[in-house]
Amino acid sequence: DIQMTQSPSSLSASVGDRVTITCRASQGISNSLAWYQQKPGKAPKLLLYAASRLESGVPSRFSGSGSGTDYTLTISSLQPEDFATYYCQQYYSTSITFGQGTRLEIK
Amino acid sequence: EVQLVQSGAEVKKPGESLRISCKGSEYSFATYWIGWVRQMPGKGLEWMGIIYPGDSDTRYSPSFQGRVTISADKSISTAYLHWSSLKASDTAMYYCARTSGSYSNWFDPWGQGTLVTVSS
């Protein structure tokens, strides 16, 4: 299986901050990467796919980039509703794997 | 609006069997893969397996192969996750989610989740 490693595991930030979360794959995944947001007690919500394509309805403060094995999710200006856990997911392999998650907390 | 609605929370004893369901609406259920994802308490997301309702082609994560059975009934737009003998370690939230078309792809939308509690 392709291992997905997110960093950091947790992060404290303030409203208005710019935040970056990194996801590293154990082998190249050719931009076959999605990002999800999960709030407590809720199902994950798709934010981006194909590493950088924004899902319809997702605010433009979310963006994604990367290539090969290294990918990032950036939130340009944190809003109160963005405090949640974020997961990356690779779909390059037929055995899908997720990162372990990054918990974004209010400072 | 494309929607997946899952069955309600379950409380079971070890050794019991269980089937939970995921009903799709407002799209052609038979032509999109449906996956199942486990989330143990306080933990991350784990892909369990996936099914194509059109012909019931099913793939499993090696971690879940032999532990669960995924099935679907396209006539009623419903996918299932089945355990023949539950363990306490099966206690988790289980989500179904639709892929965007091909087998290995991103998931959207997701069901609301089914909480399974296994306790003696």
Q: For B1-50, write each residue's pLDDT tens digit.
A: 999 999 999 999 999 999 999 999 999 999 999 999 999 999 999 999 99
The predicted pLDDT at position B104 comes to: 83
Answer yes or no: are the C-beta atoms of A67 and A31 closer than 8 Å.
yes
Q: Which one-letter amino acid corresponds to residue B11?
A: V
Choose the closest CB to B45 out of A44, A55, A94: A44
And the tokens for A35?
Answer: 């990002």
Average pLDDT over residues B100-117: 92
Rounded Cα gap, residues B117 and A57, in angstroms: 34
Q: Do B107 and A46 touch (CB under 8 A)?
A: yes
Arithmetic mean of pLDDT over chain A: 97
Q: Do B104 and A94 touch (CB under 8 A)?
A: yes
Query: Among all residues of chain A, which has the CA nearest to that of B45?
Result: A98
> Which chain A positions have a beta carbon within 8 Å of B103's beta carbon?
94
Rounded Cα gap, residues B98 and A36, in angstroms: 14
- Enumerate residues 86 to 115 of chain B having a beta carbon within 8 A of any beta carbon in chain A: 95, 97, 100, 103-113
> Which chain A positions have a beta carbon within 8 Å of B100's beta carbon?
49
The predicted pLDDT at position B100 comes to: 80
The dihedral over CA atoms of B60, B39, A104, A9, expressed in degrees to the nearest 10, equals -60
Choose the closest CB to B61 out of A43, A55, A95: A95
Cβ neighbours of residue A50 under 8 Å, at least 6 residues apart? Answer: A31, A32, A33, A34
SS3 readout for chain B: CCEEEECCCEEECCCCCEEEEEEEECCCHHHCCEEEEEECCCCCEEEEEEEECCCCEEEECCCCECCEEEEEEHHHCEEEEEECCCCHHHCEEEEEEEECCCCCCCEEEECCCEEEEECC
pLDDT tens digit sequence for A44-88: 999 999 999 999 999 999 999 999 999 999 999 999 999 999 999
> Which chain A positions have a beta carbon within 8 Å of B46's beta carbon?
98
How many angstroms away from the CA of A97 is the closest CA of chain B? 6
pLDDT tens digit sequence for B50-83: 999 999 999 999 999 999 999 999 999 999 999 9
Q: Which of A87, A98, A97 is nearest to A64 (CA)?
A: A87
The predicted pLDDT at position A66 comes to: 98
Confidence of residue A96 (pLDDT cuts 50, 70, 90): very high
The predicted pLDDT at position A7 comes to: 98
And the tokens for B14?
Answer: 């070890």
Residue B119 has pLDDT above 80, yes or no: yes
Choose the closest CB to B106 out of A1, A34, A101: A34
The predicted pLDDT at position B19 comes to: 98
Pairing of strands B10-12, B114-118: parallel
Choose the closest CB to A91 out of B106, B110, B111: B106
Distances in whole angstroms, Cα of residue A105 to Cα of each of A7, A82, A84, B59: 14, 9, 7, 36
Q: Do B45 and A101 touch (CB under 8 A)?
A: yes
Answer yes or no: are the C-beta atoms of B76 and B23 closer than 8 Å.
yes
